[in-house]
Structure 1
Amino acid sequence: MVQVKLFDCDHEEDLEEEMNEFLEQISPRDVIDIKYNVALIGDASGEQVFCFSALIIYKK
């Protein structure tokens, strides 16, 4: 069965840590693909907020 696991963090280091913890629990041969995205959102005051996300597609 194909499954997905979604990760969403404010800091890239947090995303890396969460993904590594998950990947330790599954076999490397079960990983089908990993998608990565960074979004930048600016508010009215000019402050920038980053959103780091990733999707792991794997066999369960």
Structure 2
Amino acid sequence: MIQVKLFDYEHEKDLEEEMNLFLEDIRDNQIVDIKYNIAATAEEEEEQIYCFSAMVVYKK
């Protein structure tokens, strides 16, 4: 069965840490694909908000 695991964090280090924890329990041959995305939005007062997200597609 194909499954997905979604990750979404404001800091890239948080994304990295959580993905690595998840991937520790997945064998290499279970991974189908990994998608990565960065989004940035400007808030009032010129503050930028970042969103670092990833999706792991894997076989269960």
**Same fold, judged at TM 0.5 (above):** yes
- After TM superposition, the score normalised by the length of structure 2 is 0.97
Q: Give, in whole Å, the separation in 2 of the partners of 1:28 and 1:13.
A: 22
Structure 1: gaps (5+ residues)? none
If each structure's helix is expressed as a fraction of its own residues, which one has the higher value?
A: 2
Asked if 1:21 corresponds to 2:21, the answer is yes
Alignment match, 2:55: 55
Instruction: Report the identity percentage.
Output: 58
Secondary structure of 2:18 counterpart = helix
- After TM superposition, the score normalised by the length of structure 1 is 0.97
Alignment match, 1:6: 6
Alignment match, 1:41: 41
Aligned residues: CA RMSD? 0.5
- What CA deviation, in whole Å up to 9, does each residue of 1:7-34 have, x standing for no partner? 0001000000000000001101100000
The alignment covers a number of residue pairs equal to 60
Secondary structure of 1:37 counterpart = strand
